[in-house]
Structure 1
């Protein structure tokens, strides 16, 4: 049994997260192989291409919509809205965009080791 206390990370005290152009990440906590926070994408914006190294990533869309492009040449895509979950496997090069007129927000959970975000020029060609 653990004697470690339960911790609270207040929403108005989140730290700025690792940058990727076109999106804003906020970190609640990062430690012990678990990373949690938020990502915000403005209307019509697209992020830069990136992957999350060894991390497995889960996103839960709270508000707005998210489109994730991935695969050879970035030719595959999925879209998710409020109440939907997305899973991004380790090393999957992708970019997020917001196809709506409202700011999107998603809760992020990552499990893994190493840098949580690696920005790249783009996916491998098709």
Structure 2
């Protein structure tokens, strides 16, 4: 995943993330930050702790990831995905965590 910062303020970060085909992030959360994504191109798959299955956000979809929500992202397609991100809260941007039980 390649992140490009558009701008950053003490409590707001905004930018673009490009996720290559087959990419898979580790499990993480964004501390007390609230995150909003808008998918511009392709598919961004999200898996969440406590949710059986996944959510596929496609071009034109908005996704909200609440603060402290343990999740991971991937791109299950053969084409790159592009999303615009806004993260508000000013806390640690990413906190890596072990995989939730049964979701390794």
Q: TM-score, normalised by structure 1?
A: 0.75
Residue in structure 1 matched with residue 11 of structure 2 by the alignment: 33
Aligned length: 102
Quick one: distance in 2 between partners of 1:115 and 1:71? 19
- For 1:12-91, list aligned pairs within 5 A: 23-72=1-50, 75-91=52-68
Residue in structure 2 matched with residue 116 of structure 1 by the alignment: 93
Cα RMSD for the two superposed structures: 1.4
Quick one: distance in 2 between partners of 1:76 and 1:111? 27
Quick one: distance in 1 between partners of 2:94 and 2:7? 15
Structure (1 or 2) with the larger CA radius of gyration: 1
List alignment gaps of at least 5 residues for structure 1.
1-22
Instruction: Please identify runs of 4+ aligned residues in structure 1 that moved more than 3 A.
Output: none
Pairwise CA distance, 1:39 = 1.0
Larger fraction in helix: 1
Quick one: distance in 2 between partners of 1:121 and 1:108? 24
